[in-house]
Amino acid sequence: MSTTTIRELIPDFAKDIRLNMSSVILSNITTQLSQNQLYGCMLACAYALKDASFIKHIENLSEPVLSSAEIQAAKSAACIMAMNNIYYRTMGQINDEAFKNLPAGLRMQIIGKPGIEKLDFELYCLAISSINGCGTCINAHINVAKKAGISDSDIQTVIKLSAVVNAANTSLALA
């Protein structure tokens, strides 16, 4: 399945999303991000959105590009961010200072040993955190990406990709 096939499924009431679907994915013309990074972020977002039909579309689109390790890492990113985004978003919203010094006490070793390039996994986590709206996690993943040399423009591409994937999922659900 190609982006063209997914675009064809998006209804006319979501024409902007249909057009953005290809322009953001094809942005690898103007980005330093690899195809694997872009497709990995897209697949991680699909897993985070938890819609089986949409996941299948994005898996079919991504499988020719991604290795089995990258696919597993996208699943791992969706799972760990399902936990971390809730925990850190909530902790960031609590006004009581006593909570700020409490250790998380949550196992998250996958972030240190994701089975793929750590930077790629960080980008997957950034994309998912963008969808889940966790400012604490977004900023943490941006900091790691910037320290690894990822440009602001490429970070923005990851965020735009997550926004478009989220909107495509909504568009197909409403079709």
Residue-wise pLDDT for 109-140, tens only, equals 999 999 999 999 999 999 999 999 999 999 99
1 has a pLDDT exceeding 60:
no
Return d(Cα 6, Cα 58) in angstroms, integer.
Answer: 9
Domain covering 3-96+108-174 assigned CATH 1.20.1290.10 in the classification: yes
Please pick, among 41, 45, 125, 137, the residue that the annotation labels catalytic: 137
- Alpha-carbon distance 90 to 69, whole Å? 31
Give the tens place of pLDDT for each residue, 131-167: 999 999 999 999 999 999 999 999 999 999 999 999 9
How deeply is 167 buried, as exposed, middle or buried, from its count of CB atoms within 10 A (0-12, 13-18, 19+)?
middle
Q: DSSP letter string over 123-169?
A: HHHHHHHHHHT-HHHHHHHHHHHHHTT--HHHHHHHHHHHHHHHHHH
Structure tokens at 30: 């103007």
First-to-last alpha carbon distance for the chain, in angstroms, is: 19
Is residue 82 a contact partner of residue 133, using CB atoms and an 8 Å limit? no
pLDDT single digits (tens) 8-41: 899 999 999 999 988 887 665 678 999 999 999 9
Q: Is 45 a catalytic residue?
A: no
Q: What is the DSSP letter of 104?
A: -
The model's pTM? 0.94
* Token representation of residue 77: 């990113």
Q: Which pair of tokens denotes residue 20?
A: 């953005």
For the chain, the C-alpha Rg in angstroms (whole number) is 16
Catalytic residue, from 41, 45, 125, 134: name it: 134
Q: Is 134 part of the annotated catalytic residue set?
A: yes
